[in-house]
Structure 1
Amino acid sequence: MLFPTPTFALFFLAVLPLSWLLMPQVHRWRPFMIVASYVFYAGWDWRFLFLLAGATLWNQVLAVRIWHTESPGRRKALLVLALAGNLGVLGYFKYYDFFVESLDGVFSLVGLDAPLEVRTIVLPVGISFYTFMAISYVVDAYRRDFKPTSLEKFAVYLSFFPHLVAGPIVRPGELIPQLDTPRNPRRVDTSRAFYLIATGLFKKVVIANYLASSIVDEVFAAPGQHSSLEILIAVYAYAVQIYADFSGYTDMAIGIALLLGFSFPRNFDSPYAATSVQDFWRRWHMTLSRWLRDYVYIPLGGNRRGSILTYRNLMLTMLLGGLWHGAAWTFVVWGGLHGGALALDRWRTRRPGHVPPEQSRRRVWAARIVTFHFVCFAWIFFRSESFGAAWDMITGLFTGWGEASPLVTVGVLLAIAVGIGSQYLPARIPGLIMARFSRLPVPAQAVVLAFALVLTSALGPEGVAPFIYFQF
């Protein structure tokens, strides 16, 4: 199910009152929420329910065994087994065809046929997200950071429908303890929840969908047919589109979870206001950034083994992060660009004798502009279907100035300005809006929400495109 659809609205209208009714009785609420979440997931393809259930059983059994095993060797063997199962399933569904196509390319260079065939495997929606959450669970059990819970609670944790298909990536310690405490419907922060849902809807339905249909899809599909100005604006538009699309989804997910009585970690913090690539990754998809740091970068050695190995660890982490986003070499290049930039940032700021310059307003804005344009350049590889298409976009930035640019409209420029400009608003403004909304009488709140929904529907294109991160 897509969040901004009538189908999900009907589903949630049925689930929410029942959830509130059962909140004080957690022993009844948990099985109800498992069933509701499985119904939600079955809206995509009911056959993959068995995959989700299998992941739940596999990780619960091994996490419990790891926790109760004293022998370091056996504990490590169990951890390797758990990781092999998780990554094996993820690798088959997400990377099998990519591996075969890459292998075929290598074999063709020497005039041989690859021994495997492409199978066109359907990617289960959300598999990357719930696999990473399952890995967090078993690794935290191995590190003695989190004691495994009951199968019922773990099933809720892994399948909870607000985060199931596209995050945020919630850690065991962030959600499972909340399952032990009865939720009080009277203490639900409805003003914040409705604000997040309304703004998330606007970002997805109005900003992201409008930019995709008005310029991004058309230019990236055939960059050779467009002017340099259209290509440049399309790159900016995609930067705003992917931010509005994904942050819009996670805003809605966090708001929906709040209505159910649960708190999720924040996932975005004005990423296009970042002053360095390192700062960007502190603000963009923050739950993934922390996951990569704690479960990939630090286990590789982090920054504990000297500068050269630190640069290597940064690069490997971002290459894996790029590959996680999609089974294509363009994603690997995107990750490599960010890995190289992170290594360069670290070298520049940690080299011997380096004295940090005084942070004037001019320097801060210069750093923001440089960081934003680097991120936009890397997005070209992220969005392009192939290296050829990415190269056409890059060369097109220099070879078609002065040509007609009918796709560069006032509406497109305004949507880009809103998407970027909103990230420079003072942090206190959302709080003030929520505070004023919460003080309104209930009928007035209903009128405001109805107006916001009507405005979003009127401004957005017809239909709702799938969220970009559903394919990852």
Structure 2
Amino acid sequence: MQFNSYIFILLFLPLAIIGYYGLNALGKEKLAKVYLLVMSLWFYDYFNVIYLVIICASIAVNYLLSKGMSLLDGNRRKITLLFGIIFNVGLIFYFKYKNFFISNINEAFGTGFHLQKVILPLGISFFTFQQIAYIVDSYKGETKDYGFIEYALFVTFFPQLVEGPIVLHSEIIPQFRDKSKWKVDYDNLSKGFMMFARGLTKKVLIADAFGVAVEWGFSVASSTPLGEGALTIWEIIIVMLSYTFQIYFDFSGYSDMAIGLGLMFNIVLPANFNSPYKALSIIDFWKRWHMSLTRFLTKYIYIPLGGNRKGVWRTYLNIMIVFLVSGIWHGANWTFILWGLIHGAFQCINRAGKGIYTKCIGFAERLPVAKVWISLIQVVQWVVTFIIINVAWLLFRADSVGQFTQIMSRLTVHNYSIRTELLESFRIPKIRYLFALLGQNPSEMFTLGLSTVVVMMTALFIVLILPNNGQCQYKKSKLNLVCTFIMMIICMISLSKVSTFLYFNF
């Protein structure tokens, strides 16, 4: 079941809210948790009943392992932890990477191992990482005596189940135990509804609109990679920017919806998104993009590897390992792996260049109109960072490394034409009427080109200037609620044309 579907908005969500608070109001707090757990499993089961079997087995095994560790000590405790990590990593490997591994073995050694049809459970990377964190914390003695229902609800709570944020037991289970959160909080309910509507708007009206251009671009790249009819320089730039904005509004929209849904149940989920395209470096970008994944990788991989405590070169190695894991986590394709390594490499370059940056800022501060020079340095930083992010996203979206290199090679072919099929994706309705009012009758190509520029600049304005979800003030007022309902109605009308969230694939 998807957040952007009629059955979720009109049936599932009302039933979940009414049933949960209704049982709590009757003093059936334990039953209310069971009810919310069952609803969350229904939400997940709606995609495929096999998913339900897999996640339930995963929950049961991890819960038993965590309980077992509390009864063991010494080497037996370590062996149990090691088994738990192998079990969870093995689960992801089988469903997500088995065929990728076999196909690469076949290609490298000319073998003919058969590829099996494997159903990839949605959100397996998310709920598996959550449970790895849990058993590691259990080994450290940092988990409390949680009951099975509480643990299962922590893993399956539907707002964060299939696309994050990756939550920790210490920030979720205590909230379900907090009696003050068992009653309806109308401020949280209205705030959550407004956040949900905002996220739905980002997904339906913005992300999917850019998705049309992206699909066209990669369709052309697949059918005509080189020669006449291949993508031109301006088409590549437009498609690249379109994907940059599509994945931003898609993931940002989901994050807003997830946090809003959590608030409807008085559960505060951690922020997962903080205006990442405002970043002035790749280090800054990863403090803003997919923040819960960054937190997990830092706490459970980077720090145990030694972090930055074992010298410069060991720090760089640890960073590259972390981003290799990040790339692998995103998907079974060399494009994801290289994407992760590129981000890791630029993280290392950022660290190595900190001294140069500090000297540049120090020099600028001694110049006349120092603020202007410092601002200029920051603009250059932003431009370089944004270009790196864009090119990396193009690799991330490509079907293969070969397709990416073919697209990039087209940038050396001096063809600057743009096909109307691509520009049609950005057509602003009724824009010709505006020109008619001004007594103008521009060409169709000019109209489409202007529409494209306006759409791109508007998207850039939103991601760079407007406040992000965490900065917005969601006040319960008649005007805000009316505007929210209007947005919801507009989005509901468009739901039949809506695609799945991009991170559903991870």
TM-score exceeds 0.5: yes
Tell me what 1:6 maps to: 6
- Could you tell me how far apart the structure 1 residues matched to 2:454 and 2:193 are? 25
- Does 1:207 pair with 2:242? no
2:91 corresponds to which residue?
89
Q: What amino acid maps onto 2:67 in structure 1?
A: V
Q: Partner of 1:31 in structure 2?
A: 34
Aligned to 1:21: 22
Q: TM-score, normalised on structure 1?
A: 0.92
RMSD, matched Cα:
2.1
Asked if residue 277 in structure 1 is aligned to residue 279 in structure 2, the reply is: no
Number of the residue aligned with 2:161: 164
> Which residue matches 1:185?
184
Q: In the alignment, is residue 357 of structure 1 matched against residue 361 of structure 2?
A: yes
Q: Is the 8 A contact 2:123 2:161 kept in 1?
A: yes
**Mapped contact 2:6–2:495 kept (Cα < 8 A):** no
- Alpha-carbon separation, structure 2, partners of 1:297 and 1:107: 34
Partner SS state of residue 185, structure 2: helix
Instruction: Output the CA distance in 2 between the equivalents of 1:5 and 1:411.
Output: 29
5 Å-filtered alignment, 1:110-189, equals 113-114=111-112, 116-182=113-179, 183=181, 184-186=183-185, 188-189=187-188
Change beyond 3 A, Cα 1:148–1:59: farther
Q: Name the residue aligned to 1:397.
A: 411
Q: Does 1:467 align with 2:501?
A: yes
| Equivalent residues of 1:196, 1:252 under 8 A apart | yes
SS in 1 for 2:314: helix
1:142 to 1:452, Cα distance in 2 relative to 1, 3 A: same
Secondary structure of the residue aligned to 1:12 is helix
Shift of 1:405: 3.4
**Alignment check: 8 A CA contact 2:244 2:393 kept:** yes
Deviation at 1:280, TM superposition (A): 0.0
Q: CA deviation at 1:452?
A: 1.1
Alpha-carbon distance in structure 2 between the residues aligned to 1:174 and 1:453: 30
User: Which of 46, 53, 56 in structure 2 is aligned with 1:53?
Assistant: 56
**C-alpha distance after superposition, 1:210-244 (max 9, x if no partner):** 1111x111112223422210110110110110011
- The percent of aligned pairs where both chains have the same amino acid is 32
Match of 2:402 among 385, 388, 402: 388
Higher deviation after alignment, 395-404 or 33-42: 395-404
1:89 Cα shift? 1.0
Mapped to 1, the partners of 2:131 and 2:145 lie a distance apart of 11
Matched residues, number: 458
Residue in 1 aligned with 2:445? none
Unaligned stretches of 5+ residues in structure 1: none
Change (3 A) 1:411 1:356: same
Contact 1:220/1:389 (<8 A) preserved:
no
Identify the match of residue 80 of structure 1 among 72, 78, 82. Answer: 82
What is the CA-CA distance between 1:55 and the residue it aligns to?
Answer: 0.9
SS of structure 1 residue aligned to 2:287: helix
8 Å CA contact retained: 2:277, 2:386: yes
Q: Decide whether aligned partners of structure 1 residues 6 and 432 sit closer, same or farther in structure 2, where only a CA change above 3 A counts.
A: closer
Cα offsets for 1:428-449 (capped at 9, x unmatched)? 99766523xx132xxx555323
> Which ranges of structure 2 fall in alignment gaps of 5 or more residues?
365-373, 424-447
> What is the alpha-carbon distance in structure 1 between the residues aligned to residue 285 and residue 277 of structure 2?
7
User: Which among 243, 246, 262 is matched to residue 241 of structure 1?
Assistant: 246
Q: Aligned AA for 1:286?
A: M
Partner of 2:306: 301
Shift of 1:461: 7.8
Which runs of structure 2 are paired with 1:196-235 in the superposition (5 Å)?
196-213=195-212, 215-223=213-221, 224=225, 225-235=230-240
Aligned partner (choices 432, 455, 477) of residue 439 of structure 1: 477
Code of the aligned partner of 1:12: L
Q: How far apart are 1:145 and its partner, in Å? A: 2.7
Contact 1:211 1:412 in 2 (8 A): no
CA distance in structure 2 between the aligned counterparts of 1:457 and 1:6, rounded to whole angstroms: 8
Q: CA deviation at 1:412?
A: 4.2
Matches within 5 A, 1:408-447: 408=423, 409=448, 410-425=450-465, 427=467, 434-435=474-475, 438-440=476-478, 446-447=481-482
1:178-235 C-alpha deviation (Å, 9 max, x unpaired): 111132203551343122111111111111111111x111112223422210110110
For 2:47, give the aligned amino acid.
Answer: W
- CA deviations over 1:246-280 (Å, ceiling 9, x no partner): 11111111111111111100111000000000000
Deviates more, 1:315-324 or 1:420-429: 420-429
The higher radius of gyration belongs to 2
